[in-house]
Amino acid sequence: MLVAVLTYVGYGVLTLFGYLRDFMRQWKIEKCQNATERAEQKDFVPLYQDFENFYNRNLYTRIRDSWNRPICSVPGAKVDMMERVSHDYNWTFTYTGRVIKDIINMGSYNYLGFAQKAGTCQEAAAEVLSQYGAGVCSTRQEMGNLDKHEELEELVARFLGVESAMAYGMGFATNSMNIPALVGKGCLILSDELNHASLVLGARLSGATIRIFKHNNMQSLEKLLKDAIVHGQPRTRRPWKKILILVEGIYSMEGSIVRLPEVIALKKKYKSYLYLDEAHSIGALGPSGRGVVEYFGLSPEDVDVMMGTFTKSFGAAGGYIGGKKELIDYLRTYSHSAVYATSLSPPVVEQVITSMKCIMGEDGTTVGKARVQQLAENTRYFRRRLKEMGFIIYGNEDSPVVPLMLYMPAKIGNFTTTCHVLKIGLFVFSFYLYVKCIYVLKRS
Amino acid sequence: MAAAGMGQQWVLVEMVQAFYEAPAYHLILEGILILWIIRLLFSKTYKLQERSDLTPKEKEELIEEWQPEPLVPPVPKDHPALNYNIVSGPPTHIITVNGKECINFASFNFLGLLDNEKVKSAAQASLKKYGVGTCGPRGFYGTFDVHLELEERLAKFMRTEEAIIYSYGFATIASAIPAYSKRGDIVFVDEAACFAIQKGLQASRSNIKLFKHNDMADLERLLKEQETEDQKNPRKARVTRRFIVVEGLYMNTGDVCPLPELIKLKYKYKVRIFLEESLSFGVLGEHGRGITEHFGINIDDIDLISANMENSLASIGGFCCGRSFIIDHQRLSGQGYCFSASLPPLLAAAAIEALNIMEDNPDIFQTLRAKCERIHKALQGISGLKVVGESFSPALHLQLEESCGSREDDVKLLKRVVDYCMDSGIALTQARYLEKEEKCLPPPSIRVVITVEQTEQELDKAASLLKEAVQSVLN
């Protein structure tokens, strides 16, 4: 209770100071450091509303140095950061040229440590780079479908245990370009409260009706499903064409894991379709890294659309969707990404292929399996120790995303600077008042 | 304290007195009102929608009866977009498509940088230093020094204050537009704008006004109409932002936008211009700086230039450049920037090296233009096909002069032409569109892409082969 009050007081004080500073800037008492509009365009309609930028000018800029920290090495367990200083309270930065070495990396999403600068993955990627080049210069449907892409898709389908899969160049775009292809007007999307921006954007672009259910709350979801089927579309009362439930495997903000068995039971009972976004959970959950479906011991056939990204556990870039053959054939024909966007770059594809084979054990070693187990152990150990030390932690016990609550806005800047000095790299969400640590596999 | 108590009591006495002195109808009216309020407070609330008098059993039946559509409709096996061409090996000048070696006239590798050795070695060096992926968005340990270097280089090359890079070409303009234009703002966009622009506009929820392709008179008419609207409601007009979105070199039609006239309209009607230069970056202009250099326009007159690095720079990703006042906003509001992992460093290093090559060899742009003119001339006069695009545009369209009747038949006919050419060693492709999603669907066409690596013999061979193909297919 006290904490909540103090947090609000903290924000209130910051807002008041913000107004004061704005006032001083307007009356030229304080110099305005913001970039401004061109003189020739001063009589145009202003590009930004004053209030939109209030947060940016007064709150964000004070502690701007906590974000966008440039690094200059592999995002592995330890990372080198470029030192930067600001002489005018974070309005501009200059790089001193020095490099701070060996910061413990708790901010990169490198769950299994496959982002490496040496080793089998890197060598294979180098080989493919010299053979194929870096770019592709065409879309999948025109001249951009390389044999490497076909190999990758067949491997992803085998990894997930589904009939077929398709890969795309960007994880964000996978959601925002494929959800509109699957649902449209007259369909209903039931989306979790804390879904990622890409899922929200995809749902909005599709034109379907969106209803939000409380985070991981099965009663809320069931109520929405019942109401939807019984009452149909609003005003016209026509039955819905289809209902799609959007959930994520691990939620990157909360660190919680979706209640998959209950969601699947509900989906079967009410004949709806399930879209599972495993951006964080693929490779990180489950005894052999197959994701949240394996973690709960369920069959991948129960999930209609299994989506995930290669950025986190595989150390590459891009996204995929897996499912039944009809679904993937449809997406090959009608997905926005297949028609208008460039396909994956070949060395990136090779990195995914090599790391996936390593996790599956197809490269002949047990390195992949060992890494998955190590991640699980590290996660449990870290969470246990933080709890013992008295920190407040959210999220599921097995989730490698650990949100540590700070609450007071004033502490945010201080905490990150102190951690920086102690050589720990974390990142902070001032909007949600979190400090988030993502526990990376320690390989040494 | 006592005085306040006394004051309170005094007010109470006054109230009781007023009560006795009030007329009867007044008291009755007030009494009725109070009773009505009490009734409303205690009556059961009802939601307008849930006027359901359905029993739980009926609800169960409804749930049982409801049958959803299948998640996806079945796709016929011979759908033209289903069977992809499989390219074995790199998609360079000589390309192996479906097992056959052909000369590549279909990949947007305008400057031939896809298999350039210097570019590849720069990417290799970066791979050895950073690995492949960045494992994080730009805000959280995903900013590498290569990204910062690439942004600086691009800003310097385009002679603007700042540049921002995205990890996917499509997402660049589709994230940039919604960052500035919100619900209630007005955007004037050309009919032939590409799909990425259309998706950006849809995400922004602004009012979209389409004007006929390259028709400045139509645009001026729309702007004048908007001006009269504004005069009716000047308060609203003062906060409604206005934008014009055009492309430098249009992907769908191969022609350029009349930029000088657009600048005049900009200052006359106080509208901002967003310019999409994916095809014209690295192609137009003496040094490849795009359409602003081509027309000799001051780059500060354009509010935002967006381009993707997947064509001339032969890498992956995209960038926006302009004044810091405009670009800096995207660092917090560009969805594809904040919520997505950053560009893999090897691709950024490849783009930097490609920029170096562009800066060191400015004569490749002239060479490319000469080749475009050559093939443009050679392709004129094929009976049955018409060439759509400017003579200096490296991405042309070949459309049927007379349609067969339906779009399906046209597509099938063009496929036969393309197959004939592929069998004889020239790799071509049809321009692909999502027929139901495009706002103004262009007619079916064959895409011809000219690159710097194609020799004059190959250009002539392609032209004569196309002539043969059309003759044999149409007769």
Confidence class of residue A376 from pLDDT cuts 50, 70 and 90? Answer: confident
Tens of pLDDT, residues B244-296: 999 999 999 998 999 999 999 999 999 999 999 989 999 998 999 999 999 99
Q: Which residue has the higher pLDDT, A296 or A418?
A: A296
CA A141, chain centre distance (Å):
27
pLDDT of residue B9: 62
CB contact under 8 A, A75 and B135: yes
Q: In terms of CA atoms, which chain A residue is nearest residue B271?
A: A44
Tens of pLDDT, residues B301-321: 999 999 999 999 989 999 999
Pick from A252, A149, A137, A141: which is nearest to A194 by CA?
A252
CB contact under 8 A, A142 and B104: no
CB contacts of A142 in chain B (<8 Å) are 85, 106, 429-432, 447
How far is Cα A441 from Cα A106, in angstroms, rounded to an integer? 10
CB contacts of B174 in chain A (<8 Å) are 176
CB contacts of B180 in chain A (<8 Å) are 47
Q: In terms of CA atoms, which chain B residue is nearest residue A233?
A: B49
Pairs of CB atoms within 8 A across A/B? 361
For residue B358, pLDDT beyond 80: yes
CB contact under 8 A, B144 and A71: yes
pLDDT of residue B57: 86
In angstroms, the separation between the Cα of residue A196 and the nearest Cα of chain B is 8
Q: Nearest by CB to B144, which of A72, A131, A427?
A: A72
Substitution target in B94, B103, B141 with the highest count of A β-carbons within 10 Å is B141
Q: Which two tokens stand for residue A285?
A: 């959950």
For residue A441, pLDDT beyond 60: no
In the predicted model, what is the mean pLDDT of residues B441-453? 91
Q: Nearest by CB to A146, which of B91, B106, B429?
A: B91
How far is Cα B303 from Cα A46, in angstroms, rounded to an integer? 13
How many CB atoms within 10 Å of residue B137?
22
pLDDT of residue A200: 93
How far is Cα B59 from Cα B65, in angstroms, rounded to an integer? 10
Phi, psi for A65 (deg, rounded to 5)? -75, -5
Substitution target in A141, A146, A225, A355 with the highest count of B β-carbons within 10 Å is A141
DSSP state letter for B322: E
CB contact under 8 A, A341 and B139: no
How far is Cα B262 from Cα B217, in angstroms, rounded to an integer? 11
β-sheet bridge partners, residue A322: A165, A306
Confidence class of residue B5 from pLDDT cuts 50, 70 and 90? Answer: low
Tens of pLDDT, residues B339-354: 888 999 999 999 999 9
C-alpha distances in Å from residue B329, one per residue of A53, A64, A405, B174, B324: 9, 14, 28, 15, 8
CB contacts of B51 in chain A (<8 Å) are none
What percentage of chain B has pLDDT greater than the value 90?
A: 53
Which region holds residue B48: left if phi is over 0, alpha if psi is between -120 and 50, else beta? alpha
Confidence class of residue A312 from pLDDT cuts 50, 70 and 90? Answer: confident
How far is Cα A240 from Cα A224, in angstroms, rounded to an integer? 13
In the predicted model, what is the mean pLDDT of residues A80-109? 77
CB contact under 8 A, A70 and B59: no
In angstroms, the separation between the Cα of residue A373 and the nearest Cα of chain B is 20
CB contacts of A302 in chain B (<8 Å) are none
pLDDT of residue B261: 93
How many CB atoms within 10 Å of residue A46?
12
Domain locations in chain A as residue ranges = 2-61, 65-112+376-433, 120-363
Q: In terms of CA atoms, which chain A residue is nearest residue B129?
A: A117
How far is Cα A162 from Cα A270, in angstroms, rounded to an integer? 23
CB contact under 8 A, A145 and B127: no
pLDDT of residue B150: 94
For residue A40, pLDDT beyond 90: no
**Cβ(A132)–Cβ(A146) below 8 Å:** yes
pLDDT of residue A443: 33
DSSP state letter for A270: T
Q: Nearest by CB to B82, which of A49, A172, A333?
A: A333
For residue B242, pLDDT beyond 80: yes
CB contacts of A309 in chain B (<8 Å) are 341
CB contacts of B78 in chain A (<8 Å) are none
CB contact under 8 A, A134 and B119: yes
C-alpha distances in Å from residue B171, one per residue of A172, A206, B133, B164, B176: 9, 16, 18, 13, 8
In angstroms, the separation between the Cα of residue A141 and the nearest Cα of chain B is 6
Q: In terms of CA atoms, which chain A residue is nearest residue B77?
A: A329
Q: In terms of CA atoms, which chain B residue is nearest residue A170?
A: B168
| Mean pLDDT (chain B, rounded) | 89
DSSP state letter for A238: P
CB contacts of A242 in chain B (<8 Å) are 68-69, 71
Phi, psi for B265 (deg, rounded to 5)? -65, -35
* DSSP codes of every residue in B456-475: HHHHHHHHHHHHHHHHHHH-
In angstroms, the separation between the Cα of residue A157 and the nearest Cα of chain B is 18
Say whether B196 sits in a helix, a strand or coil. Answer: helix
In the predicted model, what is the mean pLDDT of residues B212-224? 93
| Mean pLDDT (chain A, rounded) | 83
Q: In terms of CA atoms, which chain B residue is nearest residue A237?
A: B49
State pTM to two decimals.
0.87
Q: Nearest by CB to A35, which of B97, B328, B340?
A: B328
Stated length of chain A: 444
Q: In terms of CA atoms, which chain B residue is nearest residue A177?
A: B199
**Cβ(B450)–Cβ(B249) below 8 Å:** no
Pick from B141, B428, B135: which is nearest to A110 by CA?
B135
Residue with tokens 């556990």: A313
Q: Nearest by CB to B346, which of A172, A332, A347?
A: A347
Q: Nearest by CB to A173, which of B171, B338, B447?
A: B171
In the predicted model, what is the mean pLDDT of residues A417-444? 53
What percentage of chain B has pLDDT greater than the value 70?
A: 96
How many CB atoms within 10 Å of residue A296?
16
How far is Cα A189 from Cα B183, in angstroms, rounded to an integer? 22
Highest mean pLDDT: which of A15-19, B111-115, B471-475? B111-115
In angstroms, the separation between the Cα of residue A154 and the nearest Cα of chain B is 14
CB contact under 8 A, B325 and A36: yes
The secondary structure element, H or E, covering residue A165 is strand A164-168
**Cβ(A196)–Cβ(B339) below 8 Å:** yes
b/e per residue, B201-219, with b = 16+ CB within 10 A? Answer: bbbbebbbbbbebbeeebb
Q: In terms of CA atoms, which chain B residue is nearest residue A71?
A: B144
Residue with tokens 């870096």: A134
How far is Cα A371 from Cα A289, in angstroms, rounded to an integer? 9
CB contact under 8 A, B108 and A137: yes
For residue A362, pLDDT beyond 60: yes
CB contacts of A305 in chain B (<8 Å) are 71
How far is Cα A413 from Cα A348, in angstroms, rounded to an integer? 36
> Which ipTM was obtained for this model?
0.88
pLDDT of residue A95: 80
* CATH number, span A120-363: 3.40.640.10
Highest mean pLDDT: which of A103-112, A346-355, B129-138? A346-355
CB contact under 8 A, B128 and A68: no
For residue A427, pLDDT beyond 90: no
* DSSP codes of every residue in B69-117: PPSS----TT-TTTSPPPEES--SSEEEETTEEEEE-SS--TTS-TT-H
**Cβ(A426)–Cβ(A394) below 8 Å:** no
**Cβ(B403)–Cβ(B443) below 8 Å:** yes
Q: Nearest by CB to A133, which of B120, B238, B427?
A: B120
pLDDT of residue B365: 92
Q: Which two tokens stand for residue A359?
A: 């996790």
In the predicted model, what is the mean pLDDT of residues A300-313? 91
pLDDT of residue A437: 44
b/e per residue, A385-405, with b = 16+ CB within 10 A? Answer: eeeeeeeebbbbebbbbbbbe
**Cβ(B431)–Cβ(B444) below 8 Å:** yes
Q: How many CA atoms lie within 13 Å of A163's alpha carbon, on the beta-carbon side?
A: 12
The secondary structure element, H or E, covering residue A243 is strand A243-248
CB contact under 8 A, B133 and A310: yes
For residue A62, pLDDT beyond 80: no
Tens of pLDDT, residues B409-438: 888 899 999 999 999 999 999 998 988 888
